């Protein structure tokens, strides 16, 4: 007899889910790297291969909440990128990123996952166009997964997730990117690392 969490598979039935080791996800400004991905570094530290899949849509009108977070008018155009972060090929985190289109339009960094700076991250991409990102603000809160999130993450419908609203700001105080990050509690532990400046 096997004990564990049950998972439903559409059209197939209910099965005992394979136990999964929780993955450590570190949130820290100190983890921004000139090259490479903090997510890949986190996965390597726990002996896993980190990667991601993404889809970018340019010129998407900003919904009201996103516009407020970016300090732009509702309906202004943005570049929206949806990410599925993977550890050894299994999804462990989702993220939807929004950048004001007028900020990067006509530059080599307009597409976060395209061009010569693909995958370089917000801080490094903005530096290419002369914008210094000085800080980020994160607001984490627990909630239940939506049906779509549960399907993408391979978790039960309405399972507990941490929803992080993150916004990057330039040294001029302008929001340059905002993202909704969804981390499943069953598969990940979130650790905040806070650098101390002396």
DSSP string, 11-37: TTEEEEPPP-PPEEEEE-GGG--SSS-
What average pLDDT is seen over the chain?
87
174-194 pLDDT tens trace: 999 999 999 999 888 888 888
Q: What is the pTM of this model?
A: 0.84
% the chain with pLDDT above 90: 63
Task: Note the pLDDT of residue 30.
Answer: 57
Residue 87 has pLDDT above 80, yes or no: yes
SS3 letters for 143-169?
Answer: EECCHHHHHHHCCCCCCEEEEEEEEEE
36 backbone dihedrals φ, ψ, rounded to 5° = 90, 175
Q: Does residue 5 surpass a pLDDT of 80?
A: no
């Amino acid at each position: 007899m096997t004990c564990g969490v049950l998972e439903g598979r559409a059209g197939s039935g209910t099965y005992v889910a394979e136990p999964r080791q929780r993955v450590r996800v570190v949130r820290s400004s100190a983890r921004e790297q000139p090259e490479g991905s903090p997510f890949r570094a986190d996965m390597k530290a726990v002996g896993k291969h980190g990667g991601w899949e993404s889809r970018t849509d340019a010129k998407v009108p900003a919904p009201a909440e996103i516009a407020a977070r970016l300090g732009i008018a509702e309906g202004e155009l943005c570049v929206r990128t949806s990410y599925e972060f993977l550890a050894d090929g299994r999804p462990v985190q989702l993220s939807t990123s929004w950048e004001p289109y007028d900020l990067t339009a006509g530059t080599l960094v307009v597409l976060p996952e395209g061009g010569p700076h693909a995958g370089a991250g917000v801080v490094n991409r903005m530096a290419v166009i002369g914008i210094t990102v000085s800080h980020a603000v994160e607001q984490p809160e627990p909630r239940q997964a939506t049906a779509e999130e549960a399907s993408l993450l391979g978790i039960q419908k309405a399972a507990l997730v941490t929803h992080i609203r993150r916004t990057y700001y330039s040294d001029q105080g302008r929001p340059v990117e905002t993202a909704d990050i969804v981390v499943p509690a069953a598969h990940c532990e979130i650790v905040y690392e806070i650098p101390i400046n002396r």
